[in-house]
Amino acid sequence: MKLSFRTPVLATATLAGLLVLTACGKKEEQTNAPAAASTAATPAAASTAPVAAPAPATTTAAAAAAPAAPAAAPAPVAASETLTVGTVTLGSAVGADKKVAKAKTTFAPNEKTIYASVATDGTTAGATLNAKWTYQDGDATTTVSDLSQSISTDGPAVTTFKIQNPNEWPEGKYKLAVSLNGKPAGDTAFDIKKK
C-alpha cells in the first residue's frame, strides 16, 4: 500500500490542533461547533493545499475526542393518581368558587340554566370528568347534553357543568350521570315542573 503525502500532514495537523485546544482550556460547548460544515470542509482543504489550516481538522478531531455529554437524568416517577368523585350538587346559580349557591332538585320550566357542581378529591395529572344529562319521557330516554372536561388537581377541587335552554324545559324527570375516565361515578335525579 502506498501512503500519500496527505496522510502524515493531516495526522500532524490534527494532533497539533488537539494539543492547542487542550493547552488553551477550551470548553466542550466551543468544540461542538457545527460538525457537518467542518467535516465537509476538511477533505477539500486537504486536497487543494497539502499543508491545510489546522482549524477545520482540529475541530473535527476535538469533537471526536471530547468527552461524552452526561446522561440525561431519569424522568421523575409520576405520583400515584387517586381521584374520587364526591358530591354532585344541582342548582340555578354558582359562586366564584364554582360551587352551586343553593342546592335544589326541582326546577321551573322557565329556568334557563341548570348547574351541577362536581366535587372531587385526590391527585391527578389529567383526568376526564363527564356529565351526561338525560330526560326520561315514559320509557324513552333522551340525551339533553353530554359534556366532558379535563381536570388536573392536587387535592379537593370543584368542576362545574351546565345545561341551557332558551325555551322552556319540558316537564318531567331528568337525570345527571357523572363518570370519571369513562367509569360511572354517580347519578343525580331531578325534576322540572311548574310550582
Over residues 22-34, the pLDDT tens digits come to: 454 544 444 443 4
pTM equals 0.58
Instruction: Flag whether pLDDT at 42 surpasses 70.
Output: no
- Domain 82-192 classified CATH 2.60.40.10? yes
Q: Which helix (H) or strand (E) holds 89?
A: strand 82-91
Mean of pLDDT values over 100-109: 95
- 69-96 average pLDDT score: 72
Domain boundaries, the chain: 7-65, 82-192
Higher model confidence: residue 22 or residue 150?
A: 150
Pairing of strands 172-180, 106-107: unpaired
Task: Classify the phi-psi angles of 6: left when phi > 0, otherwise alpha if psi is within -120 to 50, otherwise beta.
Answer: alpha
pLDDT per residue as tens digits for the range 91-100: 999 999 999 9
Judged against a pLDDT cut of 70, whether residue 180 lies above it is answered with yes
Taking the C-alpha atoms of residue 49 and residue 55, their distance in angstroms, rounded to an integer, is 14
Pairwise CA distance, residues 130 & 34, whole Å: 51
